[in-house]
């Protein structure tokens, strides 16, 4: 049995790591009897797996389970390599470590169909025995960088023509989103001009929705799309009377736990602002979905990381000499 370890990460900002970040820390463990280890290593591993069901029609319906998996990062850093006759005597030990995360890893995520996670664990190796991991590993959330769909305000339009012989019997919504690339915890500011040229009262509903696309492996991969609305983001306008014009403003909060999933071959996680024109029966509704990206851009976060992280072990040693 390998020793129980304590893995301490320096400057673990708000409980997570960021893509491209230099990670420093210390491994601590206790030895209770004289023993030899041929190598002690620390590993950082990031993997993803998705799984979903699909129906095939070949004479009759058949439900099959599809899956995919992907490795994003595998870092192995040696902490200790003994001399030929070196043994560990009973006592407390600690070893510093440092490594850098790749820039292009996706964010951690766990849904009913996909799990992307990153773990740190310590490996103790002895000749003639199986390599064993430490009793406790450390799961660390990672936020990946995102690429924006647009950095400028974005305009959109929704038009709903009613069931009528009059072609001018319609509703038009012209709107603008102030920005489409946001950081977790930000807010989306939405302005709309609603022109109701119809003879019915209507209202406008807006909300933030998500689209998770899962992709199976194989030469002809299948896709499964999961979608829904983000709780707490739905809002319905006051009644907009027939033959009237109304200016609307809306602020949609972005939870600090929301993050777009990019840089993965097994899952794409997207967000959109959905604006719906709702007219009474039998006219139905019309809507527009405007894509937004939630996350940190690389250039935004690099200076923050460099400013806040402690010096590396090697830098600290050089500074004391």
CATH number of 216's domain: 2.60.40.640
Q: For residues 43 and 63, what is the distance between their CA atoms, to the nearest angstrom?
A: 38
CA nearest neighbour of 96 among 15, 8, 2? 8
Number of domains in the chain: 2
Coil, helix or strand for 275? strand
Q: What is the pLDDT of residues 119-168, one digit of tens each?
A: 999 999 888 665 666 667 899 999 999 998 776 789 999 999 987 767 77
CA nearest neighbour of 239 among 200, 182, 191, 275? 200
Q: Is residue 307 part of a domain?
A: no
What is the torsion angle, in degrees rounded to the nearest 10, for the CA atoms of residue 280, residue 285, residue 290 and residue 294?
60
Residue 314 pLDDT grade (very low, low, confident, very high; cuts 50, 70, 90): very low
Q: What is the pLDDT of residues 45-83, one digit of tens each?
A: 999 999 998 876 665 667 888 999 999 999 999 999 999
Q: Is residue 301 part of a domain?
A: no
CB atoms within 10 A of CB 251: 10
Q: The tokens of 30 are what?
A: 């206790």
**Are 92 and 199 in the same domain?**
no
Reply yes or no on whether the pLDDT at 237 is more than 80.
Answer: yes
**Are 133 and 172 in the same domain?**
no
Reply yes or no on whether the pLDDT at 29 is more than 90.
Answer: yes
DSSP H or E run through 54: strand 39-57
Range of the domain at 56: 5-144
Q: Is residue 314 part of a domain?
A: no
């Amino acid at each position: 049995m390998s020793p129980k370890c304590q893995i301490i990460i320096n400057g673990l900002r708000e409980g997570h790591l960021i893509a491209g970040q230099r990670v420093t820390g210390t491994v601590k463990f206790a030895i209770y009897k004289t023993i030899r280890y041929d190598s002690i290593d620390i590993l950082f591993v990031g993997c993803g797996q998705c799984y979903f069901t699909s129906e095939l029609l070949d004479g009759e319906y058949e439900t099959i389970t599809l899956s995919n998996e992907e490795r994003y990062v595998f870092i192995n850093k040696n902490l200790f390599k003994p001399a030929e006759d070196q043994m560990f005597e009973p006592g407390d030990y600690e070893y510093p470590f440092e490594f850098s995360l790749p820039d292009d890893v996706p964010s951690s995520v766990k849904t009913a169909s996909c799990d992307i996670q990153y773990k740190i664990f310590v490996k103790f190796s002895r000749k003639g025995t199986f390599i064993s991991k430490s009793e406790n590993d450390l799961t660390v959330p990672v936020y990946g960088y995102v690429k924006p769909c647009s950095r400028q305000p974005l305009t959109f339009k929704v038009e709903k023509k009613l069931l009528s012989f009059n072609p001018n019997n319609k509703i038009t919504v012209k709107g603008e989103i102030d920005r489409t690339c946001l950081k977790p915890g930000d807010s989306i500011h939405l302005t709309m001009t609603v022109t109701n040229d119809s003879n019915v009262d209507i209202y406008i509903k807006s909300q933030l929705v998500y689209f998770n696309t899962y992709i199976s492996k194989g030469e002809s991969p299948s896709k499964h799309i999961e979608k829904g609305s983000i709780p707490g983001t739905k809002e319905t306008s006051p009644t907009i009377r027939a033959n009237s014009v109304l200016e609307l403003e809306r602020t949609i909060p972005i939870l600090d736990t929301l993050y777009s999933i990019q840089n993965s071959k097994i899952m794409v996680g997207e967000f959109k602002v959905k604006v719906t024109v709702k007219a009474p029966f039998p006219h139905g509704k019309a809507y527009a979905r405007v894509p937004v990206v939630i996350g940190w851009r690389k250039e935004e976060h690099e200076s923050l990381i460099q400013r806040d992280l402690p010096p590396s072990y090697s830098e600290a040693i050089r500074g004391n000499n």
